[in-house]
Amino acid sequence: MLAAEPPSLTLPIGPGDPAWQTARGGRAGNSPVMNVDGVWRDYATVPVLREGRPVAIVVMGESLRDSPSQANLATSGTLGFVVGGLSVVDSAGTVMFSWNPDLIGHRLAAPADLANLRVGEARKIDLAGAGDRITIASPVADLLNGGYLVFQQPVPAFYRDIRSGQLTRDSSLLAVVGAALVGLTVLNGRREAAIRREQGRLQALLHNAHDIVIATGADGSVTFVSSAAALLLGLPASSYLGRQLPDIAYPDDAATLAEFLHRAAEAGTAAVRDVRLSTAGSGHRWFDIEAIDLRDRPEVAGILLTCHEIGERRLLQDELRYQAFHDALTGLPNRALFARRLDVLAAERPTPAFAVLFIDLDRFKSVNDTYGHDAGDEVLRIIGARLQGAGTGQDAVCRLGGDEFAVILGDTDSARAHDVADRLLESIRRPISVAGRSVTVDATIGVALAESQDAPPGAVVRNADLAMYRAKEAGRVRQAACVPTAGQP
């Protein structure tokens, strides 16, 4: 048990109870009548969902004799008759509420007598050993694990006023049937009168949960927020009441949250991952949110959302995503991100003018052989930073692996491409201090330009690679250009 109100409470229901199984299936349920420490009680079970699966169950119980619903039936359940009246029984036929409080906990009907009744139908049933009573029953849709509204009266009292034979008898039966159907509204009195009492218990439990629990009306207005909001979002829970649910989301995710709430109202359940909720100070935190529609359960009377904070998972995802597309040594974009940016260029119509520079460090192996691999790694880190500093914000500097780098120059022409190549060579050649020694590294750069609007990026890359090898064959420590790429495959 995560929390209880009062703290000393022990649960009389568990995994074997039908209401518990209903909640484990993702729906709210209610227990059969049970005697707990000499008091007749029933219990409502409400699931708390995460990723579509219940991770906790909120259990709310009440004393049936002290329930507002019992008070309603005690005053209006006789339907004007001198003796007899209405009772609400559970799926086993045991009285939950009754015109006669002494009937609570007693069985009025066997389950077999009630099993074939349909919601919206009131029918006279013949009970074994109850030939001296008229019994009419109708199922109650509000009780998810089953329940019935039962009218019962002694036969002499029921037919006392019959004066015109069968016609009057049928009219009396019809009147009672109608009263039984209308009497279903008595349950609404039970739920409405119990909301203030049960919601206090519900809030006491939910305020102890680490996840933020939110209840909204069908229009999206917030009716309840657990106190975890203050811890995770930095604002008191009361500050959210009355606001529209999308308004508490980070602005970029407001539409996502609105659509999510609509799905929950339509389908009964919904889930959304990686949603940002606004925090104090214009910040945000990441959440996975599950919703279940409990508008038919007045203890909640709305759509219940469980917001599970995923900051650690999000940080891990961001770190893994960064590692997948960046070189661990230099922090530069890697070959995978280089290819992805070329794909973005290829998808643009018309393809913009761009250039690719292939950079290969000359005789870098001698640095590793002479000074060691740690010194070689430091040289690569410094050169990577220099290459990044020599370009502009529109340029993408990547490390392809080993001692090879590449630069994508966006929105450029031949003059600028060669100017950038010269600056890169100059930057690379500056002496580097490693382990107290000065190291100088040279490089060869191949330049390829896409001047045609239909130039394939892949062809530009191949031309840059080819230009780089031609420059090496010509003597290294230089740049070389390939002819502009114009629509070649």
Catalytic residues: 403
Q: Nearest to residue 19, comparing CAs of 398, 299, 222?
A: 299
Measured distance CA(242)–CA(250) in Å, rounded? 18
Token pair 């029918």 in the structure block, residue: 123
Question: From residue 389, how far is each of 379, 395, 399 by CA, in Å?
Answer: 15, 10, 14
3-state SS, residue 153: strand
| Residue 45 CB partners (closer than 8 Å, separation 6+) | 13, 19, 20, 22, 23, 28, 29, 30, 31, 57, 58, 59
| Residue 217 CB partners (closer than 8 Å, separation 6+) | 223, 301, 302, 303
Sequential DSSP letters for 262-319: HHHHHHSEEEEEEEEEE-TTS-EEEEEEEEEEETT-TTT-EEEEEEEE-HHHHHHHHH
Are 399 and 332 spatial neighbours (Cβ–Cβ below 8 Å)? yes
Measured distance CA(444)–CA(357) in Å, rounded? 10
Hey, what are 311's tokens? 């900051």
